[in-house]
Every structure is written in C-alpha cells, then in structure tokens.
Structure 1
Amino acid sequence: MTSTSAAALPGREARAALADDHGEKRRSAIRGAFFSEYIDMFDIYLPVVALAPVMFLFQPKGLSPQVETVLASLVFITTLLGRPVGALIFGIVADKVGRRAASIYSVAGFGVITLLIGLLPTYETLGLASYLLLVLLRFLDGVFLGGGYTGAIPLAIEYSQKERRGFVGGLILAGFPAAYVSINLITMLMFTLFPLAGPGSPYTVWGWRIPFLVGAALAGLLALYYIRKVSESEVWKTKTRDGTAQAETLPLSSLLSGKGGRDLLQVLLLMTGFWTTQNLVTIYMPTGLLVKTLHLSGIALTATLMICYTVLFFSYIGAGLLGQAIGRRRFFAIIGPVIATAGAGILYVLTVTPDLAFGPRALLVTLLAVIVTSPWGVIVTYINERFATDVRATGFGIGFSLSVVIPSFYAFYMDWLSALMPLALTPVVLMMIGGLVGMVGALIGPETRDVDFGPGH
C-alpha cells in the first residue's frame, strides 16, 4: 500500500462511518413515523371496532335509535375535532423546540389517555358522567394524536433522500390500513375468547377494555423508541442554528401571512377535497353502504373489509412511488377526475346492485378503496414539501388536520342533497365533488418533487 492510499484510508473510513450513522438515523426516523401513524390510526378506530358493540354501557337505557346513533358518533367525531387543536399546539412545539420532542410528548399523552379510557367506569357506576368523560377523553386523545404525526412525519421526511421521499410518504401512510387490520384481528380474538352475549357477558364486562390497554402499551413502547433510538432532524437543527430555535415570531404568524398563508389555503383546498372522498370510503362505506345498503353483517362484512385494507397497505406504497415518478401535482391532477368518474361510478354500481355475489362485491369495494384513497400515499410527502423548515411541522399539522372538519359533516350534506335525489345516491355526488375539488387544489399549487430541504427552505 502506498503512503498516499494509506493516508486516504482513515478519511474514507470516517466518511463511510458518517454515512452509516446518517443512514441509521434515517431508518430510525422512518420506522418511528410509520409506527406513529400505525398507533395513531389504531387508537382512532378503537371506538368504531372495539367499543361500538358495547356503547350502551355508557348510555342511559331506553334511548331511541336516533339518539343512540348521535351519541355514538360524537365519540368518534370529537376525536377528529381534537386533531386540529393538537396539530396546532404540537406543530408549534415541533418547529420551535424540535420534531423529536413533539413526538415524545404527544405519544406519551395519547398513551395515557387511551389507558384511562380502557379503565373508565360505565354508566352503571358513574351515570351520565361516564359518557361525558368518554367524550372528553376522546377529545383529548384527538389532541395528542393530532400532535403525534405533526412531529414524527416531518422528522422522517426531512431525513429521507429526495429521490425516495415518495416511497417514504406512502410507507408511512400504509400504517393506517395495517392498524385497521390489526384492530379487527385483536377484536375478533376478544370476541372468540370473551364472547359478546348481553350485558353480563365477558366481552361486555371487561373484554372490550383489552384493545385499549394494548393501544396504551403500544404508545408507551413508541415513546421509549423515540427517546432511545430517534435523533433530532438535522435539517431542523441546521435551520435553527443547531437546535436553538429563534423566539422572535411563532411559526403560526409566518404561516398565516404572505406566501405561507397562500400555501396553506391551497393545501387546505386540496385536502378538503380528498378528505371528503376519504371519509366516504373509511367512514360511510363500512356502515352506510356495506351494512345499510348491501345488508352485510358478520363474517361477510369483516372479510370484505379485511381484504380491502390488506390491499390498501400495498396500494398506498404504490401511489407514493407513482407520485415520485410522475410528480405529486400531476398525480393529484389525474387522480382527482378518476375519483370523480371511476370512483363515483363504482360507488353507484354498488349502491344500485345490492344482490352482488361476494366475489364481485369484494372486488368492487377494494377497487373503489384503492382509487379513492390513493392520494393519501402522496399527500404526506407533498404537504411537507410545500412548507419551509421553520413552519413545516405547523403547516403540515394544520393543513392535514384542519381540513378534516368540513368533510366530517358529510352526513349533513347527504341529507341536504336528498331533497334533490334519493338519499342512497347522494354519496355518489359527494364523491364527484370531492375529487374535482382535490384536483383544483392541486392545479393552483406548484410541483414539489424536486424541492430541496436546504438553506432557505
């Protein structure tokens, strides 16, 4: 070995070691974001899957079916309403204190809240206070859940290589269908081990609590993972002078004025459209379409949804890769009209042909879900690329969460539209409107695929 090559070796080894260290930090951040999304969705859908069969435990007896439905829906809706509050609070924390700190605080928070829900006394013990506490805890859960991804996802995207950000965004969002499948498997196991058969049955007494305790334990493990394994975003530390954030202005003031304000409005428009279509698949389809219109129950309903969400795990990743290949803006501009035509068309076919056999029905439901939810494999990456580093977490959190409020009241829009058409067809019209609004939101914004997270951004 020559003296020149010998002298160069330590430098090469140092660079290789530095690259390995950065690569491990990147992988840890991405894993953390995936599991943050997974546990976020796990906790959000616990009331829909695990608690729904025993909601009567928190309600007075003798209520009309309409009142029972409203009280049950409030448990879910209050969580969604808490998310924008958490996104704002923890977005500011993530931009001013750090992405990692925001992730730890929020994950620990929703872990404690989920544990408290699992231990909550029922109406028989506390009376109406049990229901009010459940709603309050679900709202607080939404606040912490809204903060969870506000720190974790920008952290992962900032660590990602530019040419792989599309894949990373799709992978992170794949945590949603993975969580849905997991909740159903755990709940089915609970039903098997602790049968649900009236007020005194094992599932009613305490079996429903186990999924909440599992959710709390998962949150605790994720908090420990961030404490021990995940490093702070190097992009954020560089922007804020090695982690010393400047306190002259809050991220919110920059975000609501000038270019930041215009960027936020554009993101909110795009997200309002795609939240509308997403809610029709994730909330309306399981109950309004599959149960009330197609009259599915028991094994047929569970099997259809399990097939659908298993496929969605892979389709989210595929959408992220496609958005990386053709560009985020072009992807949204194409998929919006596809949702408004093909997605609305499939929904119409399912609505007017309730006697379809299981195979064709499951195929159409899955195809509908893949088309309608595909923007979400690109959205995470896109929104993070739309905002500068010093307001990225706040912009992502508000843009992602605040936009869910208007679409959350889709049932009211269906009721209004029913004055003009049969109620069963109103979701088809909302699907068309949502897809076109999402397309318009994308077209008035820029392409972000080549955005660099360097100085000035």
Structure 2
Amino acid sequence: MVRDTFTPGGDSVQNSRPEEIIPPAKDPEHRRVAAATIIGTAIEWYDYFLYAMAAALVFRQLMFNGLSPAASTIVAFLTVGISFLFRPLGAFLAGHYGDRIGRRKVLMLTLIVMGTATALIGLLPTYDTIGVASPILLITLRVIQGISAGGEWGGAVLMAVEHAPVKQRGIYGACPQIGVPAGLLLASAILAVMSQIAPGDAFLAWGWRVPFLLSFVLIGVGAWIRHSIEESPVFVEIAELAETESAPVKVLFRDHFPLVMVAALIFAGNSAVGYMTTGGYIQGYATDPDGPVGLSRDDVLWAVTGSAVTWLLFTLLAGWLSDKVGRRTSYIIGFILQFIGVLAVFPLVNTGSVTLFFVGIAFLTLGLGLTYGQQAALYAELFPASIRFSGVSISYAIGAIIGGAFAPMIAAWLVQATGTTSAVTVYLGGMTIIGLAAVLSLRDRSGIPLGPDHEAEQSVSPIRWLSRA
C-alpha cells in the first residue's frame, strides 16, 4: 500500500512510501468517532458560547448593574476574556494527562466539568439579590469553563485526526471543528426561542436561565456518546511501546517553543475575528438601544443562528479542501477571504437593516470557516506523537488569548474611544494579516506519519527559517 506523505525540508506531499504501522480504522469506527467529536464538541462550545452571548444580552444588566451602563458592558465582556487566561492551565493539565493516560479519559472529564459549571450559572442569584457575591460567583464559574475549554479542543481533534485515514485527515479533523459553529448555532437558537417564549422582562427574569439549565441534560448525552468510542490508535501504540513522555509540557517548550508560537498566531488571526459573534460583541452592539444600529434582540439572535450554519458549512469545506490542496494553501485562501469579510462586516451591520446585518456576518463566516476547518489536521501534523496533545492544546490556548480572549472588550473600547467601528475594522484586519504571515512561515506537512515510530521525522521543524538551519 502507498500513501501521500511529507518529505522533511520540502513542500511536496506526493511522495510514496509504505503505510505506517498503525492500520487504518474501519469505516464504522471512523463514523462513530466523527459523530462523537461533533456532538461532544458542540455541547462543550454551546456551554461556552452561551455565556458569551448572555454577557452581552443579560449579565451586564443583572450581574453588573452596580456599574454605569458603559462600564457594565466593558466589564461583562472582560469576564468573557478572563476565562481565556485560564485556558492555558486547562491545556497544560489536559496535555500532560492526555499524553500520559489517553485522550478519551481527558475528554470525558472536560465535558462533565464544563457542563456542570454552565448549569450552575443558570441557578445564580442576581446582583439585586445577593449583591457583589453574584458577579464573583459568575466569574468563578466562568474561570472553570475556561479551564475545561483549554483541555477540550486538543483531545477532540486528536481523537478525530489520529483515527482518520491519512488522505482524509482534513475532513475528519473538521468534525470537531464544526462542533464550534454547531455550538454557536445551538446557543443562539435556544436563546432566540426563549426570547419568544419569555419576551421582554420575562426573559431577564427567568427565560435566560433555561438554556443554562439545559446543560444538565446535555452532560448525560455527551458523556454517553464519548464513552462509546475507542481510544486513539496513536496513543494505544504509544502506551504499548511504553513511550509516554514523563514531562511532555517541559519537552514541548524546550524543543518546540517557536513552533508553539507560530501555531498560536495562526489561530489568533482567526479567533479575534470569530469572537465578534461568538464572544457576543456584535450581538450587543447591534441591539444596544442607545447605539447606532438598534436591531431587535430576536432578529439579531436569528441572524447569528443563520450565520452559524454558513460557518459550519465553510468549516467542513476547509477540511475537505485541505486534503486536496494542502493545509497551507487552504489557509492562504481562507485568510484572504477573511480579510475581505472584515472590511465588509461593519459597514453592512451599521445600515440598521436586519437583512444586511445577516449578509455581513454570514459573509464573514466564509473566511472564518476557511481558516478553521483545517486547523485540527494542521496542528496534529505539526507536533511529535509523544507531546502532541500538549502541543495542540497549549498552542490553541495561547492563540485564543492573543486573538479572541479580549477581542470583544477591545472592540467595545475602540468604539467608545473613537465613536466609530472603523478602528475595530483596522484591528481585525491586522489580526488577519498576522495569521496569514504565520501560515506563510510554515512548510506544508500534509500526510506526515503520525505514529510514535516516526518521531524523528515529526521533530524536524516545519518553520521555514529553522528547517534551513
């Protein structure tokens, strides 16, 4: 049997060689893992994004109403960003144990922790009831969400990519990626439904709590699904060979720190733009009764729900495209389209037309999807097997801090400081260019063997200026 693979020091991905030791999984197992990663990741990110949207629509009025309206908005978005500071902690813990005890066990734990924290938010008393204890408890639960999110992504993508046939890593790796827009779609849709079931003051009184309490049910669904899948074949082989790394995080930073930062900047270029909707900024900006847009909450939530569908479709397309043209080329196409979307989104949002609002955010998701679907395969192919969980998790967490963590707060501050969204466009355009530059610095590793018997090949740096040294 022959296969496509990477040649160290070169860009070609079409060299033939014997299949690596790990046999390809059977199709039913592929489908089972793909379904489990989509559903499990969607549930995790439903929980995470639900908070971000509620920060703009609810928490600034109920938990931070001891502040002025302008300050409460900024502080509400600040709490969205604070959780990102704890995602590296989750990534360090999940990476360490994921590389030592397996991907599957870590994924079960992150799901339960995230879901429990989310459900407890739905039970929190407001500021008017218990005073300053309310925002303190809210922030504490958001920090727990951040720790869980830091460990979730790496495990999900490695389960998908390490189970996948080598020529289909992009499309299978896109499965946990589409769980992210699926989580956004689910969170937006349920909030929109509750906004109609409990309109006006009823939504602030109790309607917002229902989507959070629903997480109790979703924990059970997600845990049952994840329990049904097998451990990653790469980790199974690592364990059989007794080659688990005793201190994977230490080895990662000692030997691969530049690669971690380049990988992080790639995601930062995507996440800064993505968190305009997933972080709740555009929803809050467009529905602000004192702002220039003045759209209704229902219209905005349904428009965001629709844009999540387009984001999902283009994320899946990116995974498929990266299997055809390579991870690097597909990223270049995506960042160019994302830059165009950044230039267009706020002029369309500022028209005050719900139709043009949807067109703007939907077009933005074209580039967002095409710079996200291939990320799972790209990251998995960057790092050696023995430290791969640590590498992908920590790179993702650092990229989230640099990019998405405080993007909504920065956008809110820029608009308040300048009185216009033009400064936000410049900021997001700059982040997109940073992501593109990071991609251009890498050689394409599409098809590189992922098993532990190829550690020497995997350890050759894909960064162009380092691999020449």
Q: Per the shorter chain, which TM-score range?
A: 0.7 to 0.9
Amino acid at match of 1:346: A
CA distance in 1, matches of 2:31, 2:300: 37
Structure 1: gaps spanning 5 or more residues: 1-18
SS at match of 2:374: helix
Higher helix share: 1
Which secondary structure does the structure 1 equivalent of 2:214 belong to?
Answer: helix
Contact 1:350 1:361 in 2 (8 A): yes
Structure 1 CA distance, aligned partners of 2:106 and 2:409? Answer: 35
Task: Determine if the alignment matches structure 1 residue 251 to structure 2 residue 248.
Answer: yes
- CA displacement, residues 129-158 of structure 1 (integer Å, 9 cap, x when unaligned): 122011001101211122122222211210
* CA deviation after TM superposition for structure 1 residue 61, in Å: 5.2
Deviation at 1:111, TM superposition (A): 2.2
**AA in 2 matched with 1:367:** F
* Aligned match of 1:11: none
State the match for 1:350 in structure 2: 348
* Matched residue SS, 2:250: helix
Q: Read off the aligned partner of 1:350 and give its amino acid letter.
A: L
CA distance in 2, matches of 1:71, 1:456: 48
Once the 2 structures are TM-superposed, how far is the Cα of residue 58 of structure 1 from its aligned partner? 5.0
Offset of 1:52 from its aligned partner? 4.8
Query: Is the alpha carbon distance of 1:57 and 1:421 closer, same or farther for their aligned partners in structure 2, counting shifts above 3 Å?
Result: closer
Aligned-partner SS, 2:172 = helix
Q: What residue is the counterpart of 2:274 in the other structure?
A: 278
Relative distance call for 1:422 and 1:66 in structure 2 (3 A) is closer
- 1-structure distance, mates of 2:435, 2:283: 23
Q: Which AA in structure 2 matches 1:354?
A: T
User: What is the identity, as a one-letter code, of the residue corresponding to 1:158?
Assistant: E
Task: Give the Cα–Cα distance (whole angstroms) in 1 for the partners of residues 287 and 416 of structure 2.
Answer: 23
Mapped contact 1:157–1:165 kept (Cα < 8 A): yes
1:107 aligned to 107, 111, 121, which one? 111
**Hey, what's the Cα distance between the residues in 2 that align with 1:325 and 1:115?**
42
Q: Within 5 Å, give how 1:340-419 maps onto structure 2.
A: 340=339, 342-347=340-345, 349-350=347-348, 354=351, 357-407=353-403, 408-410=405-407
Cα deviation for residue 270 of structure 1 reads 1.8
Rounded Cα–Cα distance in structure 2 between residues aligned with 1:53 and 1:361: 18
**Counterpart contact for 2:184–2:278, Cα < 8 Å:** no
Give the aligned partner of residue 150 of structure 1: 154
Alignment of 1:72-91 (within 5 A): 72-91=76-95
Structure 2 matches for 1:81-230, cutoff 5 A?
81-197=85-201, 201=202, 203-227=203-227, 229-230=228-229
Q: Residue 358 and residue 68 in structure 1: after superposition, are their counterparts in 2 closer, same or farther (change >3 A)?
A: closer
**Cα offset for 1:317?**
0.7
Q: Is the 8 A contact 1:43 1:114 kept in 2?
A: yes
**Alignment-mate amino acid for residue 220 of structure 1:** G
CA distance in 2, matches of 1:26, 1:102: 20
Aligned to 2:293: 294
- SS of match in other structure, 1:451: coil
Q: 380-389 or 28-37: which moved more?
A: 28-37
Q: Distance in 1 between matches of 2:313 and 2:233?
A: 30
Tell me whether 1:317 sits opposite 2:321 in the alignment: no
Q: Distance in 2 between matches of 1:345 and 1:424?
A: 11
Q: Distance in 2 between matches of 1:349 and 1:35?
A: 35
Q: Is the 8 A contact 1:96 1:245 kept in 2?
A: no
Greater shift, 277-286 or 135-144, is seen at 277-286
Higher Rg: 1
* Cα gap change, 1:57 to 1:217, in 2 (>3 Å): farther
- Structure 1: which amino acid aligns with 2:217? A
Corresponding residue to 2:430 among 433, 445, 450: 433
Q: Tell me the equivalent position of 2:442.
A: 445
Q: Which 5+ residue runs of structure 2 have no aligned equivalent?
A: 1-22, 456-469
Shift, 1:110, TM fit? 1.6
CA–CA distance in structure 2, aligned partners of residues 165 and 40 of structure 1:
22
Cα gap change, 1:168 to 1:293, in 2 (>3 Å) = farther
The separation in 1 between residues aligned to 2:426 and 2:294, in whole angstroms, is 22
- What is the root-mean-square deviation in Å for CA atoms of aligned residues? 2.9
Which range moves more in the overlay, 152-161 or 217-226? 217-226
Preserved CA contact (<8 Å) 1:36 1:148: no
Structure 1: which amino acid aligns with 2:136? L
* Cα 1:414–1:246 shift into 2, 3 Å: closer
1:409–1:105 Cα change, 3 Å: closer
CA 104–300 in structure 1, closer or farther in 2 if over 3 Å, else same: closer
Contact 2:155 2:389 in 1 (8 A): yes
SS of 2:85's equivalent in the other structure is: helix
Q: Please say if residues 188 and 304 of structure 2, whose CA atoms lie closer than 8 Å, have aligned partners that are also in contact.
A: no
Q: Which residue of 2 aligns with 1:5?
A: none
Per-residue CA deviation, residues 320-375 of structure 1 (Å, 9 max, x unaligned), is 111221111112223323433x2243236426x625x5444433331122124420
**Does 2:421 align with 1:424?**
yes
Matched residue of 1:112: which SS? Answer: helix
Deviation by residue 1:213-236 (Cα, 9 ceiling, x = unmatched): 212321232123323x11111111
SS at match of 1:119: coil
Is this contact kept in 2: 1:281–1:369, CA < 8 A? no
Q: 1:327 matched to which residue of 2?
A: 326
- How many percent of aligned residue pairs carry the same amino acid? 24
Counterparts of 2:413 and 2:244, CA distance in 1: 48
The count of aligned residue pairs is: 429
